Chains A and B, each alone.
Chain A
Amino acid sequence: MYVELKQINKSFGDFQASRDVSFGIEKGSLVALLGPSGSGKTTILRMIAGLETPDSGDIIIDGARVNDIPPAERGIGFVFQNYALFRYMTVYDNIAYGLKIKKMPKEQIKKRVTELLELTGLTGMEKRYPNQLSGGQRQRVAFARALAPEPQLLLLDEPFAAIDAKVRHELRTWLREMILKVGITSIFVTHDQDEAVEVASQIIVTNQGRIEQIGEPKEIYTEPKTPFVTEFIGQPTFIEDYGKLKGFRKEKKYKGAIIRPEFVEAFKSDNKTFKDVMDCSEEGVITDILFRGTSLELKLDVGGVTLTTHRSLDRRKVSVGEKMRVIIYRVFAVDETAAYPMDNEELAKRNVKYNHLEAYLYSKDGYFVV
C-alpha cells in the first residue's frame, strides 16, 4: 500500500468529521472518494496533505508515518476545489511557484514549466492571469502547478465542480488520461457517482465521516454492502412493500427494497424476445417519458408502485398512457445494516438464462454490464 490511513478520527468542536477512517491505496492507482456533501471527503484529503491534523490514528505514505511531517515535506500535489490559483500571478508564475521556492535554477524552471504547459495544452497562455482563463483552463493550470515539483501523490478536491456541465465530461476523460500518462498515485474527491465511476479505478464511499465501502466501481455497483451505498449508487427507487411486485415475497426482517432502472424491463405484449417469460410479467402503465440524450427514461405505474426504467432509442416507439408488460429481475432488499440482492423467483424457477436476459436489458444505457 502506498498510502494508508489507520483508524483516523477527527472532530471540529463537537462535530465528528471523520470516524475510524481506514483504507489503503496501491501505488499508481487512481482512487475516488465518493460521498454526499458534508460526508467528510475534503477532511480526509486535507489530513493526508497535512492541512489538518487527525485527533487520532496514523497516516502512512510510502511506508513512513507522516502525521508529524510538515505538509511541504510530504511530496504531495494538491488541486483545490476552486483551484486556488494565485490570482496576481501569471499562468507561468503559478506553475513556477513551487519550483522557485525550491530554489531550482531559472533555466531548469523554464524547462519544466514549458514541459508542463505542453503536457496540459496550455502553451501560449503563460502570460495570462487566472481570471482570463476558462474553467477548464484553470483546472489545467491547477493541475500543472500541483505536478510541477514532481510530487509522489496527487490529491484533487472536486476537480470538476467549478466546470460547466458541457465540458465536464470531456475534462474527466482528459484528467484520467493525463494522470495515467504521468503515472502518479492520485486520490480525487467527488460527490458525483458518474464522475467517480468514469474516472477512478477504485472507489471509497464515505458517509457521515465513515467509510461505507471500498471497491472497484463495478463491485460497488453490483454488490453494495450497506443500505447507504445501495441507495446512493445508481438511480435507485425505494419501495417498502416490494412484495406487491410479481416474483418477490416481502420478508419481515427487511424494511424494504431498492430497485434500479436497469433491474426493470418494460416491453410491449407482442415482443417476441420475451415470449418465454411473458407470464412472469405484470402490467404497467407509462406515466412519463423523459428524453435522456442516449436513451429514454420511462416512469411506469405498476400496481400503484412507480418504477423507472431506461429504453434504447432503437426500440419501438412508446407513448404516455400505453400499457406495457413489466418484469423486475432483481431488487436489493435492505435492513438496517446491509443490502441483499434478491432475484425474481419466477424467473429463477423457469431457469431463464440470466445472461440472455441481461444482454438485452443492458443494451445501450451506458450503465455497467454485469
Chain B
Amino acid sequence: MEKKTRREESKAAKAILITISFLFVGLMLVVPLISILVNSLSKGFGFYLSSLGTKFVSSALKITILATAAAVLVNTLFGLVASWALTRFSFKGKQVLSTLIDIPFSISPVIAGLAYIMTFGRMGWAAPIVEGINNALGTDIQIVFAIPGVLLATIFVTFPFVSRELIPVLNAEGTDEEEAAALMGAKGFSIFKSITFPKIKWALLYGMILCFARALGEFGAVHALSKTRGKTFTLPLEIDALYLSGSADSIVASFAVSSILVIMAVIILILRNLLEHREKGKSGIV
C-alpha cells in the first residue's frame, strides 16, 4: 500500500516539477523573445527591412562581426595554450593562473570596460606607451572609445570559454597516447595534430560556439569603451540607442535589430545541441 502511494506521490511531483520548469522557461524566456520578433514586424515587413538598412545598423553589424571574430580567434588560441599548460605541466603559480583565467566569469563587464579606460585612457598608465608607439610609427592608434577598445573588451569577457571547455577534456584523456607517440619519435606539433586534436576537437568547437554567442551579445564592457554611434557601436549598443531615442518608429526599429541577434542565438542554440548530441553519441570513431 505504502509503496503505491509513494509511487503516486513521486508521479505527482514529477508532473508538478516539469510544469513549473516549462512555465518558467516559457514566461521568462520564450514569450519575451517571441514578442521581440512580433514587435519587430508590427510596422510591416517593409519597415523591418528599412530599419535594418540604415548606415548605423550596417556599421554596428560590421563591428559586431569584427569583435566576435577577434574574440573567437584570440580566445581559441589562448584557450589552447592555457589549457595545455595547465593540464600538461606542473609549475609554480598553476593554481593562480587557473583562477585568474576565470576572472571574467565573476567580474561585471562594466568593470572590465572601466579597467581598460583606466589603463589605456588619457590618464591611464599605458597611455604613454601607446602614444610612444604612435609617435615612433607615425600612426594614430586610439584604444579607448575606438574600435581596438571594443575588440579588447569583447575579448576580455569571453576569455575563459574555450579553456574551460578544454581543461576537463584534456585532464580526462590523460597523456598516454601522446607519450606513446613521442616514444616513437613524433614531435610536438605532429603529436598534437594526429593524436590530441581528434580527442579535443568537439570540446574545442563547443567552447568556440559559447565564446561566439557571448561575444555577439556583449553590452556592458563595450558600452563603457564605445561612445560613437555609427563608428564604434556594436549591435547591442545600437539597439540600446534606438530604443532610448524614444520615438515609436525607432522603438520598432530597435526590435527589428534585436531580431537579428535573436535569430543568430537560435541558430547557435541549434548548432550547440547538434554538437552535444554528436558528442554523446560518438563511438570513438570519426
Contacts and interface: CB of A to CB of B under 8 A. Distances in A.
Contacts of B183: 49-51, 71-72, 76-78
Contacts of B140: none
Interface string A290-311: 0000000000000000000000
B84 to A, nearest CB: 18
A84 B285 contact: no
B123 interface: no
Contacts of A102: 185
B180 A78 contact: yes
Interface in A64-88: 71-73, 76-78, 80-82, 84-88
A89 B181 CA distance: 12
B231 interface: no
| Most chain A CB atoms below 10 A, which of B177, B179, B180, B194 | B180
A149 B195 CA distance: 19
A129 interface: yes
A280 to B, nearest CB: 56
A78 B183 CA distance: 8
Given A72-B185, A86-B195, A88-B198, A131 B285 contact: yes
A130 to B, nearest CB: 8
A72 B284 contact: no
Contacts of A88: 195, 198-199, 284-286
B184 to A, nearest CB: 4
B182 interface: yes
Contact of B285 (A76, A101, A129): A129
Contact of B181 (A51, A86, A129, A130): A86
Nearest to A71: B183
A98 interface: yes
A52 to B, nearest CB: 10
Interface in A250-291: none
A57 to B, nearest CB: 21
B184 A80 contact: no
A242 interface: no
B213 to A, nearest CB: 28
B283 interface: yes
Contacts of B190: 101
A80 B186 contact: no
A98 B199 contact: no
| Most chain B CB atoms below 10 A, which of A78, A81, A87, A145 | A87
B285 A51 contact: no
A97 interface: yes
Interface string A39-63: 0000000000111000000000000
Q: How large is the interface on A (under 10, 10 to 19, 20 to 34, 35 or more residues)?
A: 20 to 34
Nearest to B198: A88
Given A88-B199, A101-B185, A131 B180 contact: no
Given A80-B176, A82-B176, A86-B195, A97 B286 contact: no
| Most chain A CB atoms below 10 A, which of B183, B185, B195 | B183
Interface string A121-160: 0000000011100000000000001000100000000000
Nearest to A46: B179
Contact of A129 (B182, B184, B199, B284): B284
Given A86-B195, A88-B198, A88-B199, A97 B181 contact: yes
A98 B285 contact: no
Contacts of B199: 87-88
B248 to A, nearest CB: 58
B191 to A, nearest CB: 10
A98 B176 contact: no
A71 B182 contact: yes
A98 B180 CA distance: 9
Nearest to A148: B184
Contacts of B177: 84-87
B284 A87 contact: yes
A156 to B, nearest CB: 13
A72 B194 CA distance: 17
Interface in B197-221: 198-199
A102 B182 CA distance: 12
A101 B184 CA distance: 7
B180 A101 contact: no
Contacts of B182: 71-72
Interface of A: 49-51, 71-73, 76-78, 80-82, 84-89, 97-98, 101-102, 129-131, 145, 149
4 shortest interchain CB distances as A-B pairs: A84-B176, A98-B184, A72-B185, A88-B198
9 contacts: A49-B183, A51-B179, A71-B183, A78-B179, A82-B176, A86-B180, A87-B177, A131-B284, A131-B285
